[in-house]
């Protein structure tokens, strides 16, 4: 049996987590452990207006 946990999903599912130091994507667990050195990027809002 393995003691490894399954990767946890991002909280709320809105945003990507990145390391502020390396710029790499990180897991929600890493964000929880290192809140000062991680950034959550929010997705761009949907632009429903179409150009003519």
pLDDT in tens, 4-32: 544 444 445 678 999 999 999 999 999 99
pLDDT-based confidence at residue 47 (cuts at 50, 70, 90): confident
Rounded to whole angstroms, how far apart are CA atoms 23 and 10? 17
């Amino acid at each position: 049996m393995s003691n490894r946990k399954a990767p946890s999903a991002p909280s709320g599912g809105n945003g990507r987590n990145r390391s502020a130091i390396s710029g790499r994507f990180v897991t929600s667990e890493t964000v929880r452990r290192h809140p000062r050195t991680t950034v959550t990027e929010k997705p761009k809002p949907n632009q429903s207006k179409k150009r003519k």
